[in-house]
Amino acid sequence: MSSEPEPWERTLIVNRNSPLPLYYQLKEILKAKIEGGKLKPHERLPSETELVQLFQVSRMTVRQALVELENEGFIRRRQGQGTFVAEPKLRQGLLRLTSFTEDMEARGLRPGARVLAVEVLSGEEELVRRLKAAPDEQFVRLERVRLADAEPMALEISFLRRKFCPGIEEIDFTDRSLYETLRSRYGIYLGWAEQTLEVKLADDYEADVLKVKKGLPMWRMERLTYLEDRATAVEYVCSTYRGDRYKLYTELEVRGR
Ligand code: GLP
């Protein structure tokens, strides 16, 4: 009697004659299964020992493939529980000026924050320069870990020109949108932003507050947000988003068509 073969039995075998390293081939095989939907989010992967046997490769090869898949956000390894397929990454558009809260709600996720610090600053030449503020202006520094369904997604440090939002340092931003508060409480409508994007690796602090491994690739975004006049800067933000949970999306057009 022949039973339906397990998906793992139909697994492509790594090619020992290929110039590609074995760990890389194994990684690509597992990645194809995840991207092709053969392995679903939260599904458990075979153990390291099982993978060694299934693919007839060394434990080192299996480990290297798993480390890279984890760093790229395809799998998660939980101490003592095993290896699981990760949730698909969130797709973040780059062209619209939206808040974290709006982005999460649009995806059906519950936005939240863990407020790490709030402080009033003055005499900060760097901020005066960036925000084109008067030399004696005060700023409010708000540092938050942003959460989606309670999962840490990003570390955001916002600097606000206090003259536009006096007293904002008293507000608890655990369950509140900064942009919505600027609108409803202060009548401040942000209308335009300049943003840069670069890659960095999670440092000790980011790894600690975001509960990720040090060295995980991250997206670092710096944003200067202006009023609708596109000239008056209100906010300067440094955000560090988890590279294993976000992919960036943009649309391209052929010029002149
Ligand atoms: C995004 C942006 C930040 C901005 C934040 C406001 O995450 N990257 O620059 O400060 O949204 O979010 P919220 O209004 O949810 O506090």
Testing ligand 1's pocket by substitution, the residue of 194, 224, 237 carrying the most ligand atoms inside 8 A of its CB is 237
CB contact at 8 A, 47 and 82: yes
Residue 14 has pLDDT above 80, yes or no: no
pLDDT at 126 over 90: yes
> Does residue 171 or residue 17 have the better pLDDT?
171
**Pick the residue with more confidence: 8 or 237?**
237
Q: What is the mean pLDDT of the chain?
A: 92
Residue 1 has pLDDT above 50, yes or no: no
pLDDT score of 84: 96
pTM: 0.85
Mean pLDDT across 196-212: 97
- pLDDT over 90, % of the chain: 82
Does any ligand 1 atom lie closer than 6 A to the CB of residue 237?
yes
* Percent of all residues in the chain with a pLDDT value above 70, rounded to a whole number: 95
Give the closest residue to 30 by CA, choosing from 74, 60, 73.
74
Report whether pLDDT(175) > 70: yes
Q: Is the CB of 99 under 6 A from ligand 1?
A: yes
Distances in Å between the alpha carbon of 237 and those of 91, 130, 226?
A: 20, 11, 12
CA–CA separation, 175 and 29 (whole Å): 41
Strands 246-249 and 233-242: unpaired
Which residue of 186, 239, 246 sits with most ligand 1 atoms within 8 Å of its CB, as the best mutation to test the pocket?
A: 239
Q: Side chain identity at 65, as an amino acid letter?
A: A
